[in-house]
A and B are shown apart, each in its own frame.
Chain A
Amino acid sequence: MQIKIKYFGMLTEITNCQEGTIDFSGIYISELLEILYVKYPSLKNKEFQVAQNQQLVSGKTKLNSNEIVLLPPFSGG
């Protein structure tokens, strides 16, 4: 299935875009990240968190949304 991936902050400088789609047939967030690391090897060296349904999730979480968001360290205020 097609998963929309959104990128924020410094991550957009690695991906050169704010969102993209990937074809994914796995189960876990970690599997999705492996695909992204192949597409964008520099992502591996960056600190970021993953959000699904507006909640932060770990790699062990099952994918249950067609939109995943990658968030670098927060720096509001």
Chain B
Amino acid sequence: MADDLITMDDLTNEQIDALLKDAEKLLPAANGEVYLPLLEGKLLGNMFFEPSTRTRMSFETAMKRLGGNVVNLGALASSSVTKGETLFDTMKMVDGYCDVAVLRHPRQGAAQYAADACKIPILNGGDGAGHHPTQTLLDLFTIKQAHGKLNLNVVMVGDLRYGRTVHSLSHALSRFGANLTFIAPPGLSMPEEIIEDLKANGSNIKVSEDLVSNLPTADVVYMTRIQKERFPDEDEYLKVAGIYKLSRKDLKDVKESMIIMHPLPRVDEIHPNVDSTPHAAYFDQAFNGVVARMALLCYLFGVDIPKEVSQ
């Protein structure tokens, strides 16, 4: 792997496989059964220029479960960013403070830009509508946990235009031979250039606007939120908000093993009555953010994970 993780292209399929195996081994340390201070003395910079709950907290948890420590950019209002500091200058500073940094930024390409400015490894925690590779790692881990393989029928639903999680995940899944179905309202469909890339990888792609008819053949249904913050005005948002909603009554004809995923936060895409069904995988998925990021951090620092992590 390159020192930085900007897109999933920075990882080979073999490296992804190895990371998923490492994540499995680290589960007892991720849920606190075992303390595994493999990264003692290491410091991670959490640089979030956009709101985040899961990515920021799971990186922090991952680092601390491994005995490392974390410094946060904190609220933008209290940082020099409001004084007009460039991303370049901010990242140069972090480069001196930390051993690794996670960056989330509203502008696309910010992670690569920061990586070019810094000597320490930069992990892309989401750049505009671009990429979110560590989310993809945890998504792949969740799918593999449930099905034992990745060459499955995966249906992606919602905001596929601006949703960076689905961009990264579709690229990764296409490399493992998955069949992808994209379901989006008009105006929020998967960008044509991504579809072209996926087809060039040999992927089987189906595009539709109807969710229910595509449920029975799905192994994974990946729901996403229509992101209000990506719309220039509220009227445009309201036209498509709430267009795809999944509730228990829609699950009558689905495969027994089908899992429903969501990068969270959800608004009303998945009704709470789905939470108690065996198909709901989104909370496990959120937990897997810790273990997948632990595996990635160990890999970055070249730390060997014991063959068996147990008490």
Q: Do A and B bind each other?
A: no
